[in-house]
Amino acid sequence: MNAQELSWLALWGAVALYAIAMVASSIHLARVADAKVAAKTRAKAAVAAGGVADERPAPASALRAGSEPEVRVRSRAAGIAKSTTLVGAILNGIGVVARGIEAGHAPWSTMYEYTITGTFVAVVVFLIVQSRRDVSYLAPGVTGFATIALGIGMTVLYEASTGLRPALQSFWLVVHVSIAIIATGVLIVGAVATVLQLMRDYRDSGTAWLQRFRWIEAVPEPAKLEALAFRLHAVGFVLWTFTVMAGAVWAEHSWGRYWGWDPKEVWSFVIWVIYAAYLHARTTQGWAGRRSAVLALIGFVALIMNFTVVNIFFQGMHTYA
């Protein structure tokens, strides 16, 4: 088996495992939602009966803090989701490394290579956050995104590896593109958290069509999700700033100008400005919460646009893929 076959098999394996992880984590999320709803109903019943004494610890503390009851659900689905995500990420990593060995350079020069590395980073970022606190409610979104992105990468975007063209033979390929990919991975996880935040927020305030999705109960309150999303977006924004700056240094080095409003540069700038607006909106009265979350999602859409539409349809100096 050569590196190409290894990469191919490992990546398909990763797609399959991510798909399983998505299903398993969704089942787990539904269980958590059930348990939470049950706990809430119990707490309400206890309050209604005036009997604080008999069930004191859990509901009392929950009511005092004004937050939700803590529920711990152990399900087999959670275990399956965890292990498949981990093994999937390892296979994904093997796929990326094998592709790099096959190509003979850092595998970041085509859309296919960007996709397989980007999914890997997104899942790894999720696993890192997961190792610090329980964010299993992000799992369906992240693994679902990873399944789709990697699947599209394997079927549509695949290109046989080639040597690097002269414009890309630079140390800055490693710096600029790798940080861009890492930023993308972090922002993907941040966007998932923001989507959940908005869904939970609108469901809580009575939006009709969201009432059907009981699983939303399993995610934390909007304020907590906002805090998590902000931390991820802050990291992503700093990395994106670095990407743009490193790109400018490389452009100065290679094209003789640090900024030339090439379509990719325009969109990188647009993304940067939108996320900057998001960070400002968070601290502006009337914009904090929902509006700022929407801005973050618009930024994410621009990020995906930059990778897809701009790469495929716009002619510019970044068209390598």
Least separation in angstroms between residue 34's CB and another protein is 26
CB of residue 195 to another protein, shortest distance in Å? 18
Residue 248 φ then ψ, to 5°? -65, -40
Residue 208 DSSP label: G
If one counts every other C-beta atom within 10 angstroms of the C-beta of residue 61, the result is 12
- For the stretch 302-311, what's the b/e string if a residue is b when 16 or more beta carbons lie within 10 angstroms of its beta carbon? bbeebbeebb
Residue 29 tokens, joined? 């999320």
DSSP string across 158-178: -----PPPGGG-SHHIIIIIH
Stretch touching another protein by CB under 8 A, among 8-16, 78-86, 198-206, 280-288: 280-288
**What is the b/e burial string over 248-287, where b = at least 16 CB atoms within 10 angstroms of the residue's CB?**
bebbeeeeeeeeeebbbbebbebbbebbebbeebbeeeeb
With vertex at residue 263, the alpha carbon angle to CA 118 and CA 310, rounded to the nearest 5 degrees, is 45
Integer CA distances (angstroms), 72 to 11, 21, 28, 129, in order: 33, 19, 11, 18
State which of residues 5, 163, 205, 301 lies at the interface with another protein (CB under 8 A): 163
Site pattern 239..258 for another protein (x: CB under 8 A): --xx--x--xx--xxxxxxx
57 binds another protein (CB under 8 A): no
Whose Cβ is closer to another protein: residue 169's or residue 211's?
169
Contact in structure between 118 and 185 (CB atoms under 8 Å): yes
d(CA 268, CA 262): 10
Q: Which helix (H) or strand (E) holds 119?
A: helix 111-132
C-beta of 165 vs 212, nearer to another protein: 165
Smallest gap from Cβ 298 to another protein, in A, equals: 9
Of the two residues 38 and 249, which places its CB atom closer to another protein in the complex?
A: 249
Q: Is 228 one of the binding residues for another protein (CB under 8 A)?
A: yes
End-to-end Cα, the chain, rounded Å: 27
Question: For residues 36 and 176, which CB has a smaller minimum distance to another protein in the complex?
Answer: 176
CB of 315 to another protein, least distance (A): 8
By beta-carbon proximity to another protein, the closer residue of 139 and 179 is 179
Q: Does 273 bind another protein (CB under 8 A)?
A: yes
Per CB under 8 A, the list member of 108, 114, 230, 307 interacting with another protein is: 230
Minimum distance between the CB of residue 207 and another protein, rounded to whole angstroms?
A: 23
The only residue of 180, 188, 281, 303 in contact with another protein, by rule CB under 8 A: 281
Site residues (CB under 8 A) for another protein, limited to 166-185: 166-167, 169-170, 172
Name which of 213 and 320 has its Cβ closer to another protein: 320
128 sits near another protein (criterion: CB under 8 A): no
Which residues lie near another protein (CB under 8 A)?
162-167, 169-170, 172, 223-224, 226-228, 230-231, 234, 237-238, 241-242, 245, 248-249, 252-263, 266-267, 269-270, 273-274, 276-277, 279-281, 283-284, 286-287, 295, 302, 310, 314, 316
